[in-house]
Structure 1
Amino acid sequence: MVQFEKFVLENGLRVIVHQDASTPLAVMNILYDVGARDENPDQTGFAHLFEHLMFGGSINISDYDEPLQMAGGENNAYTTNDLTNYYISLPAENLETAFWLESDRMLSLAFDEKSLEVQRKVVCEEFKEHYIDKPYGDAWFKLRELAYQKHPYKWMTIGKELSHIENAQLADVKNFFFNHYRPNNAIMVVAGNVTTAHVKALAEKWFGNIEPGQELARHLPVEEKQLEQRVAEKKAEVPLDAYYKAWHVGGRLSPQYHAMDLLTDILGGGESSRLYHKLVKQLQLFVNIQCYHFGSLDPGLLCIEGKLVKGVKLEDADAAVEAIIAEMKEAAISNEELQKVKNKTESMLAFEDMSVLNRATSLAFYELLGDANMMNTEFQKYADVTVADIRNAAIDIFRPENSNLLFYFAKN
């Protein structure tokens, strides 16, 4: 059990404190309830742009990294379609440095054309390097556009197109910041060698006077149930033909989530998985193959992806994948096979919880889901999954009309 205490400041900032006296470190994790799904369809990539802008200096601190490094700390951040997360790790005796830095950039960034231009160039180069110039880099752009007709998951976190970042205006950037990066839209977790009383005093001192933003109500378009299979093709200068097939699945709070998560491991979670063992080792149709999902808050996608052995037709590869899926739908797996993936998942969760930083990140995420204590019930939810649950999930998900298939051809 991960023990924690929670309080809320008057401006709406939720604060969770997890004490671990066995470490000399302290961690501050601030999760903002904003991701790529919250963007204007004509101004995408803003949430990711802010991941960069937030390190570009604030009103009182021109260089974010220097004072943190002087305090013996390090930091990083990441953005997804659902959220933006920033974290700092530093010696516990220097915890106030983290409060000072994070509160100042929540108060207001140093908005100016120079900072925007610098970070815009960085993001544009990242877009080109990873999604335009990189082999297969545009595959998920194509697949998301194929699978989603309405929901903003149809674009990547980096943005729908490069021009949206290239044309980002300072006024639009400011508006996005003051809409989303407010205390009432954030969850702070402080973990490590700390006390609740000390954290509460620091939170009041550094964050208590920051004005809350307007309460934002999400009205995201709901993706309608897919009624027929969608197929697309792409041809590019890549070394091998590639196969991408995605099916719609429920969101992170779906009753089917834990069964679906285990199902992906059974199918494609390593070299002993069904897809890899049959299609790579035995039939030698694929060079590699995997099955995964994104764990997105709203209904998302489960994907099977692989690179084909030269000479293998994509249609034959798809038929082979579907044959293995048919086995999952027709007959229940053994209790031994299910227990194997349960053990793997539970070991992974236990290993992650060994790190105080991971504990802080998880507490913030589960609080975003609705209750930080959900972190303490995950083991049991996986343990409760039955072989019938796995088969029912396979039947429900792997319907032909629910699939989206991208054939990615290598130019001869």
Structure 2
Amino acid sequence: MTATPLPLAGLRILAVEQYGAGPFGSLHLADLGAEVIKIEDPSVGGDVGRGIPPFARDADSLFFQSLNRNKRSIALDLTNPAGREVFEELVRRSDAVFSNLRGDVPAKIRITYDDLKHLNPRVVCCSLSGFGMHGPRRDQPGYDYVLQGLAGWMTMTGDPEGPPTKSGLSLVDFSGGMAAALALLAGVHGARTTGTGMDCDVSLYDTAMSMLNYLAAWHLNAGYEPRRTPQSAHPSLVPFQNFRTADGWIVIACPKEKFWHRLLHVLGEPSWAGDPRFASFETRHEHAADLVPLIEKELSRHGTDTWVRLLEAEGVPCARVNTVAEALTEEHTLARELIVTAEHPEWGEVRQVLTAARAGTARATHTRAPRLGEDTDDVLAGLCGYDMTKRQELGSAGAFGAATAADADVAATATKE
């Protein structure tokens, strides 16, 4: 029986990417079956993510593995004429060039649509940068921490009595990567429809600002000023926050009146529904300082697991506040098959979390992230049709970062295992 192809099979992407945001975006595409060919600069040791501590050795790391499974790697110096020759041949045979470089760099290294359309009129050139390809900050580097501060996120995160706080996850990087993946797919769809490719200009700054969404609308139209709330409380719905129990923490959410009444039933306090202070969303928000301590007093009578069991039985949205270790072993995590494995020659079985996008039949197996330049020989021979003599000539010319003929032989075989 022929296996069902993955939904993005047949999509080829050249990824001039490094670190987190770009690789996270292309990881979604690779998991869904796209052929993602990482173009890594050999002069700097390839993707900087290869050396990210604490779990790093021999130009590889668990950070790099988590973001680059199911991809291929070629070592290629784009500043070298011979390296550029190889790159242009690959562009002719690819659907997209995806990069996450500073906003002014794609034009400088000539990987925009205007630079490449003579090679492939249908190619999509997707840039994910810190601040975009135009604007006063275009030539500034952009990092998740910086963007969370600049876009106002930190003023809304953390305890009201503490300092502005970053999210525990790199949410701007991850969200920017997904936005770029979406833009790239939209561009490829358009190119296949019209026969003409395009530039996609995605930035982490735009991503962070766009995610202000309804809070921005509240401010722009009604002057609302978002503020940090105690115990991660919802800015307008009460009760909707973390609560302390006898032995830990629980999240309880009542975004509908029916959940409020069910909560009162579980707490054994149905009379609160008749209290005018708590009769509606508006009055509960106004009198949150009165209501929250009452709820906390009741919750202190039992531990978190007991309350979760009672609340779930009544259909009240709730969850225990897990540690990362607990989240990774949650029954639902396992049922959704969110932990995947890839075999690594040194580390054995590397376990990772699957990307969230699902379409059609899931990938049956996953391959580890590649070594630097591991697929150079296969790509050049199989995709470009270069014979060994041609590959050695390119290597001698420095296409793969090799300065000598001897080094060129090593580069041509690309450290294949």
Under TM normalisation by the shorter chain, which class is it?
under 0.3
> Could you say which structure has the larger radius of gyration?
2
TM-score computed with the length of structure 1 as normaliser: 0.25
Q: RCO higher in 1 or 2 (8 Å CA, sep ≥ 6)?
A: 1
Which structure's residues are more often strand, by fraction? 1
